[in-house]
Amino acid sequence: MDTNSSSRSDGWVDQRLAALDPGAEWQPDVTAGLLRLRELRVRRNWISGRWLLAATGALGFCICLMALPSPKVLAHRCLECSVAVWQSLLPSAPAQSGLKPPSGRSLAPDFNLKDASGKDVKLADLKGKVVLVNFWATWCEGCQVEIPWFVEFQKEYASRGLVVIGISMDDDGWKSVKPWIQEKKVNYPIVIGNEGLGKQYGLVGMPLTALVDRKGRIGDVHHGIVEKTATQQKIRELLQESFKDSAN
């Protein structure tokens, strides 16, 4: 460094600043400092390496979630279940106020699917009956809450003209569904649905329940877990409508 050739204004400030001089007797420990520097560098390298590894891992995980079918389905299912549970918990959950008036009902999308025994289940063939169409899946927690109610409805109202049809949306079809319906002793026909049919009924999340009147028209659609008493009431009302009345 150059020698100091500049003059100072006066010594007053210098005198005070001189108090900050640590003194010649104090010498920073270079060896200890160097060791500390090496240690910090190793630590920083290690941390950087770990961050890189973690970021790569997270990226790989995200790619797996987005690309592989099973995690995607799993994520979709989690989302649907969450929606269903929230719908059932919220006080303003979409409990339907009542059935649509017969004049405002539209024709239910028809389907012809096979049940577990291979027998055709065609909606159009059930004209004259009140049909409860329930979209469900074995993995859907909300569905498992309401299916026992449908079993009860089937027992109680079958003689008066109610038919419950369960449309499973399980991806692996009968492989999951058959053991499940045997275990749960489901007493109504179950068929395997498809995405197209779900769309026709406005299926966005499981479960979905549609009530079809005797004329084959949709009297009510409920997204999420149904309210048992309200559904029972609607079924009774639909059953009370004669074929002739509902034709209006």
Binding site for other proteins (CB under 8 A): 1-6, 8-9, 12-14, 16-23, 25-30, 32-34, 36-37, 40-41, 44
By beta-carbon proximity to other proteins, the closer residue of 47 and 64 is: 47
By beta-carbon proximity to other proteins, the closer residue of 1 and 67 is: 1
Closest approach of other proteins to the CB of residue 66, in Å: 34
| Amino acid at the residue 125 | D
Alpha-helix residue ranges (DSSP H) falling in 158-227: 174-184, 195-200
Closest approach of other proteins to the CB of residue 4, in Å: 4
DSSP conformation class of 115: B
β-strands 112-114, 130-136: how paired?
unpaired
How would you label 161-191 residue by residue, b for 16+ Cβ within 10 Å and e otherwise?
bbbbbbbbbbeeeeeebeebbeeeebebbbb
Closest approach of other proteins to the CB of residue 53, in Å: 19
Q: What are phi and psi of 120, to 5 degrees?
A: -70, 135
By beta-carbon proximity to other proteins, the closer residue of 32 and 67 is: 32
Q: Is 110 helix (H, G, I), strand (E, B) or coil?
A: coil
Does the CA dihedral 7-10-11-12 come out positive or negative? negative
Chain centroid to Cα 170, Å, comes to 14
Q: Token digits for 169?
A: 């949306």
By beta-carbon proximity to other proteins, the closer residue of 28 and 196 is: 28
Closest approach of other proteins to the CB of residue 1, in Å: 6
By beta-carbon proximity to other proteins, the closer residue of 6 and 97 is: 6
By beta-carbon proximity to other proteins, the closer residue of 35 and 58 is: 35
Closest approach of other proteins to the CB of residue 51, in Å: 14
C-alpha–C-alpha distance, residues 203 and 192, integer Å = 15
C-alpha–C-alpha distance, residues 231 and 98, integer Å = 9
Closest approach of other proteins to the CB of residue 52, in Å: 15
